[in-house]
Structure 1
Amino acid sequence: MPRAEGCPFDPPPGLYGLQEEGSPTRVRLWDGSTPWIVTRHADQRALLADPRVSADPRRPGFPSAFPITSNVASAAGFVMMDDPEHARLRRMVTAPFAIKRIEAMRSAVQEIVDKLIDDMLAGPKPVDLVEAFALPVPSLVICGLLGVPYTDHDFFQRNSKSLIMRETSGDERKEATGRLLDYLDRLVGEKLDTRGDDLLSGLTERIKTGEMSRKEAAMTGVLLLIAGHETTANMIALGTLALLEHPGQLALLRDTDDPKLVASAVEEMLRYLSIIQDGRRRVAAEDIEFDGLTIRAGEGLIMANNIGNRDPDIFTEPDRLDIRRDARRHVAFGFGVHQCLGQPLARMELQVAYSALAKRIPTLRLATDLHRIPFKHDAAVYGVHELPVTW
């Protein structure tokens, strides 16, 4: 569904109409299948938490956004698995994303952010905020956490981009996945011989004890590498643009020293923007009686989180950006057992990035007109391809 002209931050108008109708309804996909689309916040949370709902794209009826081959599914790792395999693999990487561990990284992330801002301020204007700031911040952070050489960032950014663009062909998607899996497999092999103090090195210990295979470690590495920079990079750039278009909200963020307001701003940006624009996709593993309907086993489900986060039954004036709002009930990170593992890291990075940009470059502004900004209507993860700014 296309977004409305001049409303780049809002979900497509068609989703509002479906939400007003209430109950899940049928939609038609590229392959002719007719899964259910779920638009209400409460319904999404209920179904995402239901053990009869599967995240496995190999099940018949799964409503994929594009053809999924076995190696593409592998790149998604445990995200596209059901329990108990999902829980087994996820448990092996939970500790590094614990809130205390992430908070211990805050000062290092602040240093990365400040260095990138220093470089921008010392360089020519205007600058593309995506290239100069939004992409390097999470890429540097996730590379350091995983133990991936940042010198290889062009390689993994180029291939991960191929996986999230809607128009990528099946062969191109398969090849990009293969390159990423081979790269992580080689890296895991190196760390089996020379262990470091990073997440991938920790996984090699799991391989040695027989808890995890080398292939599973490589799959997990691909998942964390892609998820660790693509979503956060898009949130930094798109969120900055949204703040520039709402100068009153930007001023509140610029003028505060209250970490609670900064944290609140991030939750509101996550709710307001909801960058996973293809929805969270599932398939019924059993018949489910829901809201007066029978969802049959093998029927697909699409949780349209972007419109779920604009549900007026949950959020007052949902189409208004208000960084003082209590937006913590949003479903931008999903819900249930598959909710985003890296959300503490994403939250911390966004808090540091938004606050630093607002305070250190108080005159930050667009260097072009809003209608000239190239938005990512062509990708599963919404954002901007570039963001020219000046000050």
Structure 2
Amino acid sequence: MKKLVTWTVQIVLLGAFFLGCWDPSLAGIDRGPLADFGMVFDNLYMVAYALATPVIVVVQALGLDQLLPPEFFPSLTADALHKSVLAYGYSIESTEITEFAKMVISPDTYSGAAVLWFPLAALFYALVFAVVGPVYDKVHNVVWNVVVEYLFHRKKAKQYERELERRKGEMEQINDKIYSLAQETNSLRDSVITDEMTKTYNKRFFLNQMVNVFEECRTNNEKLSLIMLDIDHFKKLNDGYGHVVGDEVLKEVAKVLRRFTPEQCWACRFGGEEFGIIVPRREFEDATEIARAFQEHVQALRFPHIDDKLRVTISQGICAVDFRFPESKKLSSYNDLLELSDQQLYRSKQNGRNRVSVIAVAKDKAEQD
């Protein structure tokens, strides 16, 4: 590229030089055959002189023109140059210019042999060539660096975009896998802690939760209630209607328990037709109200597709303990709480079923209701 620029400059300068040298008027050749191209030649001559002007100015400034004969400053014919100037809309007479400039383009300027152009042309060519190289190098370096840096960053940006898209796709796949694993984990966890038939928590969850909640409430001196309930005459119902009906009754009772068990309380199937409901950090009256809601809504269950006369009732036993009082310290583990609740459940059955029996371990004694 540098060579192309340099050779272009050389060709332009040399072309202007030789066209200027071979002005037919200077060489004494009749211009008749070239008359049709007069304006073209005139303009080319003007370009040649414009390019030579810096050299002439330097020579004049250094005073070398006094040492050189006038032939060292040959010019175009006055006619040709004057026409070229006028073609560009300038008039010598109406423009304030130096005497030297007037000398260059006026009809009275020097004329001489074209061969004396060579020293001036060589000097001017050397000056231009000396300037073209460094200027080209600087411009080339700046442009090249900018272009290379732009292309480099553009390529990097494209790579980063592709990498980002790839990572984005991978992240979406990972998120999908995580979501899928989370669903599987939740499903597995539910299957481990949930009773398949009734959809309440199973006995394993009940026992683990009782251990944790009992220790927390005991350590923090909080209240804890446990409701144990049993479906009345369930064996008789199974024998009379069959196990399919018995299973349906279990499911309907479990729905009632799930519906009326408050948040942060847990309804669990303890085994067979027996359920346990853990009620931590609530007043004793709250546990009793929960049990009453169970009793009322289970009694309201109807099974018209089985038997319009089929009625279901439940017996419940509640043990409520307040760990702030000394009497509660007699309960060393959740088994003691479970045993007291079972005793109250047995008491409800002994007293006619379909009822709630309560023992409250608080203050200095245990109170039964």
So what's the TM-score if we normalise by structure 2? 0.21
Larger CA Rg, structure 1 vs 2: 2
